[in-house]
A and B are shown apart, each in its own frame.
Chain A
Amino acid sequence: MPPANGGYMVAAYVAAAVIYLSYSAWLYWRSRGR
Chain B
Amino acid sequence: MTATASAERALRRGGVLMAVGLLMVAGVYVRALLFTPEEATQGLAQKIFYIHAPSAWVALYLAYGIVGIFSVLYLFLRDPRLDLLASSSAEVGTVFTTVVLVTGPIWGKTIWGAWWTWDARLTSTLFLYFIYLAYLVLRSAVEEPGRRARYSAVLGILGALLVPFIHMTVYLFRTLHPMPVVLQPGRPRVPGAMLVTILYSFLAFTVFYFGLLWRRYAWARLAAARAQGDAEGGADATR
A: residues with CB less than 8 A from B are: 2-6, 8-9, 11-13, 15-17, 19-21, 23-24, 27-28, 30-32
With known contacts A2-B38, A8-B48, A12-B107, A19–B43 Cβ distance under 8 A = no
Q: Which 8 A-B pairs have CB atoms at the shortest separation, nearest pair first?
A: A2-B43, A31-B219, A6-B44, A5-B45, A3-B43, A5-B110, A12-B106, A8-B110
A20 pairs with B15, CB closer than 8 A: no
> CB-defined interface of B118-138 with A at 8 Å, one 1/0 digit per residue?
000000000000000000000
With known contacts A2-B40, A20-B95, A12–B103 Cβ distance under 8 A = yes
B: residues with CB less than 8 A from A are: 11, 15, 18, 22, 25, 29, 33, 38-45, 47-48, 51-52, 55, 95, 98-99, 102-103, 106-107, 109-110, 208, 212, 215-216, 218-219, 222
Quick one: closest B residue to A4, CB to CB? B43
Can you report 5 residue pairs joining A to B where beta carbons are below 8 Å apart?
A8-B48, A12-B102, A19-B95, A27-B215, A31-B219
Quick one: closest A residue to B108, CB to CB? A8
B216 pairs with A19, CB closer than 8 A: no
Q: How far is the CB of A21 from chain B (nearest CB, A)?
A: 8
B107 pairs with A20, CB closer than 8 A: no
